[in-house]
Amino acid sequence: MMDDYMLPTWIYLAVLAVIVGSVMKKVLAFHLSSTPALLAWLSFTVLVERLWAFCLPTVLLMALFGLSVWLYSTFRPGALPTLPAHGKAVFITGCDSGFGKAAAMRLDALGFEVFATVLNLSGEGAKELQRTCSPRLTLIQVDITQPQQVQQALLVTKNKLGPNGLWGLVNNAGVCVNFGDAELSLMSNYRGCMEVNFFGTLNVTQSFLPLLRQSKGRLVTISSPAGDQPFPSLAAYGASKAALNLFINTLRHELEPWGIRVSIILPSSYKTGQSSNQAYWEQQHKHLLQTLSPALLEEYGEDYVTETKELFCSYTSTANPDVSPVIDVIVQALLSPQPLVRYFAGPGIGLMYFLHSYCPVIIRDRFIQKLFLKKKLMPRALRKQSSFDINLKFCNNNNEEKVVQPAMHQQ
């Protein structure tokens, strides 16, 4: 009798080992903290133990889990020593402020030869880089939407590169020039986001790829979870980042034979660029109200548009001013012997992608709605419709009472 159960048990053990190992690989790759991971494993253990108690004791399952974690922790890429930074050159776009400026300062301090692009050589960001960084850092004025300026930056970089060539390209420059529902977003906003976030980055990447192929270096791109997740009121920005994500992921496959490692960094909410500039959002709001057609503004309502602006201002005011988690993963992507394909920088991002991969759509949507803009107002037309439906229902109820009451009197 015991022999009859031995084969199914070992098949079950093999399948379970694959499942547990793959789940733990995903959990560790999403950079979840130990507490959620432990709770998830305990729930999984209880479920499996109840379903298949006749095949596998809980103690053996725990041992199998521990072995899976040990094997993955031992051979994961993070366990390897980092590469030396000295003698390596890196080109970074968008260094006037935010991630770009902080990355240029950190990489310069580590010993990189940094080529940092700025929109304004006389701006505060460029002055701070000149004042605080070593003579190795080279500032170049570049608008990445202008092909001639990108080509000029390429010539400057080639002329100053050492014998080791260009080790890394960090695509950081980007903009978010809109807020509001997709129907309310101006076509100029869609084009503006695409010009910088996609076409500008595409132009820089294509221009500098020959240098990366020669050095078998690194391509690192700062993207956004909005390119993968349907954040309300970020259609233009999200669409541009979605195009960027697909382009970079395609490059990852195509550049693998050349020895170039490609990584995408997905940050959470940080105070960068215009994100915490209240005057900027006020200006965008005023411009939107002046540009929308009267019919569309009547359908949505000015109060609805104003609430969106206020929610954006409130959300960005609570963003994290400490960008060091993003800079840390930029360094990892440049210096790790086996860099990850995706880096999640900041709290909540790993959990969001974990839910996106394994949970039903209704749970994912609810999570994003709670995480981002919590709108209270409906568009004006829907409010009117709702009020009309309530009044109509009330009138119908009164009519029914009037019809019923005479019948009751006749009895």
Instruction: Give the full edge-to-edge strand order of the sheet including 342-345.
Output: 138-141, 113-118, 89-92, 166-171, 218-222, 261-267, 342-345
CB 150 within 8 A of CB 172: no
CB 310 within 8 A of CB 85: no
Rounded to an integer, what distance in angstroms lies between the CA atom of residue 12 and that of residue 247? 41
- Tokens, residue 264: 């995408």
| Cα distances (Å, whole numbers) of residue 74 to 62, 261, 338 | 18, 22, 14
Q: What do you get for the CA distance between the two ends of the chain, in Å?
A: 77
| Cα distances (Å, whole numbers) of residue 56 to 22, 62, 69, 131, 281 | 19, 10, 19, 65, 59
* DSSP SS3 for 130: helix
CB 64 within 8 A of CB 15: no
Bridge partners of residue 344, in order along the sequence: 266
Rounded to an integer, what distance in angstroms lies between the CA atom of residue 405 and that of residue 402? 6
HSE of 369, CA atoms in CB hemisphere, 13 A: 8
User: Using the 8-state DSSP alphabet, how is residue 6 labeled?
Assistant: H
Q: What contacts 261, CB < 8 A, 6 or more positions away?
A: 217, 218, 219, 333, 338, 339
- Tokens, residue 148: 């001639």
Nearest to 220 by CA among 82, 72, 336, 373: 336
| Cα distances (Å, whole numbers) of residue 411 to 400, 404, 406 | 17, 11, 9
Q: Annotated catalytic sites, by residue?
A: 237
